[in-house]
Amino acid sequence: MPKPEVDPTVQLELSVDRSSPVPLYFQLSQQLEAAIEHGTLTPGSLLGNEIELAARLGLSRPTVRQAIQSLVDKGLLVRRRGVGTQVVHSQVKRPLELSSLYDDLEAAGQRPATKVLVNTLVPASAEVAAALNVAEDSDVHRVERLRLAHGEPMAYLCNFLPPGLIDLDTGQLETTGLYRLMRAAGITLHSARQSIGARAATTEEAERLAEEAGAPLLTMQRVTFDDTGRAVEYGTHTYRPTRYSFEFQLLVRS
């Protein structure tokens, strides 16, 4: 009589380098994540108890727990008291993160192209001033870009930035994303407020995106903050829904 299928405890080849400056818990979590990604740790398999795992690696239990916890936070592992820690079954991709459209497209293998339409200083409108928390009519950067994939327009991006944060070089804007430029300028992105909606295209919008007037457009507005709480970017984007949609994975925060 066949035994019921039980997820086995997997024996992994794990090791840490104590002379490395990389934290031990991080080395361990990276190895575990790689094993999950690679399929060595199959979904549903038990990870083995923390005490024994710590002993095998010559680490303390808190260190092992810290490594496991980081993967639990990523949604790759599930802990059950009295049972153990196992790999989740579902195919977890990347959870929704604060990424730029440019990075998204590049990761999807579509060589993105950017055409800078406008790159200038303008006085802040009431809407922009409120979003960026600056005085109305004070100077702000205004950048309008058209993002293309495979030569087809995909999105129209209009962004406002407070002055003095970053120098916006048109050439750089055409070869990389705005977020990458901000990170390179030493800005630590912290959070963003987003709003995703839809509306019919105006004649202007339709022309920019090679659609027809009245065609449905996907819209996104976003204000991004750095870790000091400053608003560092306000953007109004419109996407062609036939070419782009927002795909992401959510984790339940427990």
**Which spans of this chain sit near a second copy (rule: CB under 8 A)?**
43-44, 62, 73, 75, 78, 88-90, 92-93, 95-98, 189-200, 214-218, 225, 227-231, 241, 244-253
Out of DNA, a second copy, none, what residue 161 binds, judged by CB under 5 to 8 A for its kind, is none
Task: Output 30 or 119, the one with its CB closest to DNA.
Answer: 30
Shortest distance (Å) from residue 191 CB to a second copy: 5
CA distance 155 to 97: 19
Q: Is 24 in the site for DNA (CB under 7 A)?
A: yes
Task: Output 60 or 175, the one with its CB closest to DNA.
Answer: 60
Whether 28 contacts 60, CB under 8 Å: no
Binding residues among 45-74 for DNA as defined by CB under 7 A: 47-52, 58-63, 65-66
Out of a second copy, DNA, none, what residue 47 binds, judged by CB under 5 to 8 A for its kind, is DNA
Q: What is the CA radius of gyration of the chain?
A: 23
- Of the candidate spans 19-27, 188-196, 216-224, 236-244, the one that interacts with DNA by CB under 7 A turns out to be 19-27
Closest CA to 12 of 63, 48, 59: 48
What the block records as the tokens of 155 is 């999105």
Cα–Cα separations (whole angstroms), residue 213 to 147, 177, 200, 209, 236 = 19, 28, 7, 10, 19
Out of a second copy, DNA, none, what residue 8 binds, judged by CB under 5 to 8 A for its kind, is none
SS3 state at 68: helix
Shortest distance (Å) from residue 100 CB to a second copy: 12
CA distance 44 to 33: 14
Out of a second copy, DNA, none, what residue 199 binds, judged by CB under 5 to 8 A for its kind, is a second copy
- Burial string for 219-230 (b: 16+ CB within 10 Å, else e) reads ebbbbbbbeeee
* Interacting residue ranges for DNA, rule: CB under 7 A: 21, 23-26, 47-52, 58-63, 65-66, 79-85
